[in-house]
């Protein structure tokens, strides 16, 4: 297995650019609500998101899988999503509750896959996971682009953003369900983690027998 490849360089670029440059641009430029600037930032986010597809495509199509890329790729993907979430909350462009929900769903899947590896099996990605990533990318790109959040639902752009949010949430929940179904098929329900509780029989005490005689 190779150490470096072009797909690995894309992963490293995303890993470095996502936490160091993109959040600064979003936090300091988005509050200006200038449509042209929002468009540039949204385009930048989409280009970074496309590197997720291209490095996976290059790695599989041209056999460019590397030891470093294999471990860094999922980290870089989450850096891009999480840093964008945090920056949009700081810029008052997204409600923090949706960020908690999306990240919570992701951590739940990470937990399932960690348990699976410890039990010597893998949970493969599904078509719903790809749809989830696509839906979330489209939603976040539109949030960055939209300069009319402060006008509420009086503006049609905010209605479109709400629709994209509902689609992204639905796809995230479906993806989590598919992961859990695949996990349960091989491992069983999650309550196996805690084992079966033993039934404790009550112990009867003879109160008078336990008492010491008075001297």
**What are the structural domain ranges in the chain?**
1-91, 94-191
Residue 25 pLDDT class (50, 70, 90 cuts): very high
Q: Is 152 left (phi over 0), alpha (psi -120 to 50) or beta?
A: left
Torsion sign over Cα 150, 97, 137, 85 = positive
3 state SS of 206: coil
Task: For residues 79 and 20, give the distance between their C-alpha atoms in angstroms, rounded to a whole number.
Answer: 10
Strands (E), the chain: none
Strands (E), 56-196: none
CB-CB contact of 178 with 128 (8 Å): yes
Residue from 116, 126, 118 nearest 175 by CA: 126
Higher pLDDT, 115 or 203: 115
Residue from 36, 71, 197, 57 nearest 130 by CA: 57
Residue 169 pLDDT class (50, 70, 90 cuts): very high
CB-CB contact of 66 with 122 (8 Å): no
3 state SS of 159: helix
Bridge partners of 2, per DSSP, are: 66
Count of CA atoms in the C-beta half-sphere (13 A) of 75: 13
Is pLDDT of 187 > 80? no
Element spanning 188, H or E: none
Tokens 């752009």 map to which residue? 157
Tokens 């430029």 map to which residue? 29
Residue 46 pLDDT class (50, 70, 90 cuts): very high
Widest CA span in the chain: 95
CB-CB contact of 143 with 88 (8 Å): yes
pTM of the prediction? 0.81
Residue 160 pLDDT class (50, 70, 90 cuts): very high
Neighbours of 131 (CB within 10 A): 17
């Amino acid at each position: 297995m190779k150490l470096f490849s072009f797909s690995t360089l894309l992963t490293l670029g995303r890993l470095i650019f996502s936490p160091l440059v993109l959040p600064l641009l979003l936090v300091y430029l988005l509050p200006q609500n200038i449509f042209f600037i929002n468009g540039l930032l949204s385009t930048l986010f989409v280009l970074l998101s496309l590197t997720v597809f291209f490095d996976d495509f290059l790695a599989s199509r041209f056999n460019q899988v590397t030891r470093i890329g294999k471990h860094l790729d999922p980290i870089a993907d989450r850096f891009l999503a999480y840093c964008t979430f945090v920056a949009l909350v700081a810029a008052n462009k997204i409600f923090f509750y949706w960020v908690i929900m999306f990240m919570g769903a992701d951590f739940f899947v990470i937990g399932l896959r960690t348990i699976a590896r410890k039990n010597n099996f893998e949970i493969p990605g599904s078509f719903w996971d790809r749809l989830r990533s696509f839906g979330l990318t489209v939603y976040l790109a539109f949030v960055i682009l939209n300069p009319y959040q402060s006008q509420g639902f009086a503006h049609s752009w905010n209605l479109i953003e709400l629709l994209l949010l509902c689609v992204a949430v639905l796809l995230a929940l479906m993806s989590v369900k598919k992961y859990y179904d695949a996990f349960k098929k091989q491992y069983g329900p999650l309550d196996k983690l805690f084992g079966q509780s033993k039934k404790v029989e009550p112990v009867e005490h003879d109160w008078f027998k336990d008492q010491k005689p008075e001297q």
